[in-house]
Amino acid sequence: MIRHEIPPFFDEESRILILGSFPSPKSRETGFYYGHPQNRFWKVLAGIFQEVVPSSQEEKKAFLKRHKIALWDVISSCDIVGAGDNTIKNAVPNDFSKITTNAAISQVFTTGKLAGELYKKFSGSESIVLPSPSPANCAQSLEKLLESYSVIKKYL
């Protein structure tokens, strides 16, 4: 069983919550979300807000804060092989109320099908499911991801 060690990122100004499934080995190593250099998450967010792609953890946090975005994962701990969502077993949910009781979250987004399914199962609520920005999701071009993720701006 691997435990999620990265704390949620949010403040009282956060208006949307983006949840992944579980941090990749590279994200766990770097200590922040979407840490694999080939993951397109930061490139996509920067693209929809027409900003420079943040690279350091400090730049990423400032970017999220500026755009009122909270970031976390659905799963608190699980059995997983590598970074593959399809290998996740024995998932234990995070306590989403840590964020929702401290910020006026207007919409929850999930990155990838599994994150969306597990969020619904664990919270009883729906999320807007966005395509995974993982490099493994090669069916989604950067242009398609930008189009899909642009819905975020409607809730800010």
DSSP state string for 76-140: EEEE-STT-GGG-EEEEE--THHHHTTS---EEEEESHHHHHHHHHHHS---EEEPP-STT-TTS
Query: Is the pTM above the cut of 0.85?
Result: yes
Catalytic option among 39, 86, 94, 137: 39
90 is catalytic: no
Residue pair 59/32 in contact by the 8 Å Cβ criterion: no
| All domains of the chain in start order, with CATH | 2-155 (3.40.470.10)
- Per the listing, tokens 């579980």 go with 22
- Containing H/E element for 40? none
Residue pair 74/115 in contact by the 8 Å Cβ criterion: yes
What's the pLDDT tens digit per position in 44-102?
999 999 999 999 999 999 999 999 999 999 999 999 887 777 889 999 999 999 999 99
